């Protein structure tokens, strides 16, 4: 049995990570849209921010709940043992003739309704809704930032994958040059030095391929980390970013940013909440209405009715003795009065049964207390200038948010103008680098032909190869600089621009 239990524990420990990993697999074909969707659902940092929405929803419900009377219910049980009970002072119940008392059981309940209303409570739902909008705007800003980070990481992966392509192409060219040098050596047109230089070039190209592969792997892992997934997964990036002429105008982008910039929207929502806070601060000058009502009841049952029966019998005996005494007085008068009927004072079985039935109260045969109702109106008069200070603090906070909105608007305008200029510059640079690459490739082909004819040395061939490799790398840098600039513009306007170009 123990061996089976150990086997089950071992299988659970081994299979659980596999099951969790299976639930968090990246698709084999990963587009940018898929990556953004995955990040929205699994990125830990964003999920923490998105949880604030649930709390904001409950804050709104709580604000509405403050407009509803609060209710409370209490219940209890009690027990008092038999024996002497001391009254306030030095007397006991035994001194008053109530000795040998039994133990008592008791129960009680109370129900209460309370309602408090002031201007801050009335504004509570409006304030909570404004704060909820601020929270949602903050979540939107976090989501926009996440989209920008994922897009940047995806573009970086494509950049490194393109760098791998260039490095492999350089390696292939270096191997071609080596074969070319070996062929020229066989016919005696070059020396072994050229072959050695070609072999060195191949070695350097192999090192460059190894380094670029490592950078591409690192970029892949960083993207998976940003998606909130394990980094030991393989996928193929499928989204291709096209180099397109930017046709946006600054006025168009400004209009989009006015309603879509995440940070600007968050600050606008914060200003709205601060404006309501000013009205809420003025509520400290308003009266407060309080209403309360309640119901209660109790039970008290003796463990034995012998004491109550004996007390009732003693009261009857006292009544009979008083009756005989009165009749004796009547008989001694000069004009005697008719005597009373002392037989009417008698303790019967029905009296005993009534005492026993009346004692049967615990735990639910409550004796109700009189209901109560109370209404108070509180009017604040002076509180040491704390109210005015709170009002001024709320006003200043609202003014601060106004300045923050203006600051953000100015920053967005400047960033849009700079970003649009950067995009246009990057586009023109990419076109020029594309032309430079074509020219460098032509020079490389020409250098190979001249080298085969023995018109140039191998060093000159390597220089042409290096020039082409640099032109190819510069072209890649320019193209991805364009995509980085477009990504920054998209983050500013809060929308995708590549589909609108």
Extents of the domains making up the chain:
69-117+288-378, 121-287+385-500
In angstroms, the CA 21 to CA 229 distance is: 8
pLDDT band for position 272 (50/70/90)?
Answer: very high
The DSSP annotation for 306-341 comes to HHHHHHHHHHHHHHHHHHHHHHHHHHHSSSPPPPP-
pLDDT at position 182 = 85
Per-residue pLDDT reduced to its tens digit, 441-467: 999 899 888 888 878 888 888 888 889
pLDDT score, position 11: 42
Can you say whether the dihedral through the CA atoms of 346, 349, 353, 354 is positive or negative?
A: negative
Task: Give the pLDDT confidence score for residue 358 in this predicted structure.
Answer: 79
- Which of 7-21, 116-130, 290-304, 331-345 is the least confident region? 7-21
- The residue among 416, 482, 484 whose CA lies nearest residue 151 is 484
More confident residue, 20 or 35: 35
153 pLDDT above the threshold of 60: yes
Give the tens place of pLDDT for each residue, 310-343: 778 778 888 888 888 888 888 888 788 888 888 7
The pLDDT confidence band at residue 2, using thresholds 50, 70 and 90, is: very low
pTM: 0.76
pLDDT score, position 271: 95
Please name which of 469, 483, 468, 465 lies closest in space to residue 429, comparing C-alpha atoms. Answer: 483
pLDDT at 85: 62
Query: Which of the two residues, 467 and 80, has the higher pLDDT score?
Result: 467
- The closest alpha carbon to 288, from 118, 114, 483, belongs to 118
Token couple for 44? 């830990």
Residue 288: strand pairing partners = 378
- State which CATH number among 2.60.40.1930, 1.10.1740.10, 1.20.1600.10, 3.40.640.10 fits the domain covering 121-287+385-500: 1.20.1600.10
What is the predicted pLDDT for the residue at 344? 83
CA distance 360 to 301: 6
CB 178 within 8 A of CB 198: yes
pLDDT reading at 388 higher than 50: yes
pLDDT exceeds cutoff 50 at 17: no
* pLDDT score, position 93: 53
| Mean model confidence pLDDT for the chain | 86
Q: Is the pLDDT of residue 307 over 80?
A: no
Condensed to tens digits (0 to 9), the pLDDT of residues 394-417 reads 999 999 999 999 999 999 999 999
CA gap 475, 484 in Å, rounded: 14
> Which residues, 6+ apart, have CB-to-CB distance to 221 below 8 Å?
231
- Confidence bin at 92 (pLDDT 50/70/90): low
Q: According to the model, what pLDDT value does residue 337 have?
A: 80
Residue 420 confidence (pLDDT):
95
DSSP string across 444-483: HHHHHHHHHTTSS-HHHHHHHHHHHHHHHHHHHHHHHHHH
**Are 123 and 280 a contacting pair, CB within 8 Å?**
yes
Q: Report residue 80's pLDDT band, with 50, 70 and 90 as the boundaries.
A: confident
Residue of 75, 77, 76, 73 lying closest to 111 (CA atoms): 73
The whole-number pLDDT of residue 197 equals 83
Intra-chain end-to-end CA distance of the chain, in Å: 69
Condensed to tens digits (0 to 9), the pLDDT of residues 213-255 reads: 999 999 999 999 999 999 989 999 998 888 899 999 999 999 9
Mean pLDDT of 191-214: 88
* Residue 500 confidence (pLDDT): 61
CA distance 185 to 193: 10
Q: What percent of the chain lies above the pLDDT cut of 90?
A: 52
């Amino acid at each position: 049995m123990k061996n089976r239990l150990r086997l089950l524990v071992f299988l659970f420990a081994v299979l659980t990570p596999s099951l969790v990993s299976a639930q968090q697999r990246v698709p084999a074909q990963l587009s940018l849209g898929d990556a953004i969707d995955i990040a929205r659902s699994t990125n830990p940092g964003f999920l923490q921010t998105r949880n604030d929405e649930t709390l904001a929803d409950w804050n709104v419900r709580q604000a509405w709940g403050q407009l509803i009377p609060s209710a409370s219910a209490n219940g209890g049980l009690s027990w008092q043992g038999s024996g002497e009970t001391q009254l306030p002072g030095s007397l006991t119940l035994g001194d008053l003739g109530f000795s040998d008392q039994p133990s008592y059981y008791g129960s009680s309940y109370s129900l209460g309704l309370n309602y408090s209303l002031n201007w801050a409570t009335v504004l509570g739902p409006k304030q909570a809704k404004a704060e909820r909008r601020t929270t949602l705007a903050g979540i939107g800003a976090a989501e926009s930032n996440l989209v920008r980070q994922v897009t940047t990481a995806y573009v970086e992966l494509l950049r490194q994958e393109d760098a791998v392509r260039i490095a492999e192409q350089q390696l292939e060219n270096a191997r071609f040059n080596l074969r070319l040098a070996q062929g020229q050596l066989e016919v005696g047109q070059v020396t072994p030095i050229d072959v050695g230089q070609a072999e060195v070039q191949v070695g350097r190209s192999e090192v460059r391929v190894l380094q670029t592969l490592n950078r591409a792997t690192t970029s892949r892992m960083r993207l998976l980390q940003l998606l909130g997934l394990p980094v030991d997964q393989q996928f193929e990036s499928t989204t291709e970013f096209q180099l397109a002429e930017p046709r946006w105008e600054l006025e168009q982008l400004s209009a989009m940013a006015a309603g879509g910039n995440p940070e600007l929207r968050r600050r606008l929502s914060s200003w709205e909440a601060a404006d309501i806070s000013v009205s809420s601060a003025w509520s400290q000058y308003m009266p407060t209405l309080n209403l309360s009502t309640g119901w209660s009841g109790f039970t008290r049952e003796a463990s034995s009715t012998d004491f109550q029966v004996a007390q009732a019998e003693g009261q009857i005996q006292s009544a009979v003795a008083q009756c005989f005494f009165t009749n004796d007085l009547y008989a001694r008068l000069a004009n005697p009065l008719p005597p009373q009927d002392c037989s009417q004072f008698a303790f019967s079985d029905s009296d005993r049964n009534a005492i026993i039935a009346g004692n049967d109260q615990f735990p639910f045969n409550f004796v109700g207390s009189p209901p109560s109702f109370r209404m108070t109106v509180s009017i604040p008069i002076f509180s040491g200038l704390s109210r005015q200070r709170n009002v001024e603090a709320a006003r200043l906070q609202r003014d601060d948010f106004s300045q923050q909105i203006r600051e953000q608007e100015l920053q967005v305008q400047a960033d849009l103008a700079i970003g649009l200029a950067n995009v246009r510059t990057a586009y023109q640079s990419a076109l020029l680098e594309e032309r430079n690459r074509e020219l460098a490739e032509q020079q490389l082909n020409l250098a190979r032909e001249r080298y085969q004819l023995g018109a140039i040395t191998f060093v000159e061939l390597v220089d042409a190869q290096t020039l082409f490799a640099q032109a190819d790398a510069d072209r890649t840098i320019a193209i991805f600089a364009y995509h980085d600039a477009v990504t920054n513009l998209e983050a500013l306007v809060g929308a995708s621009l590549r589909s609108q170009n």
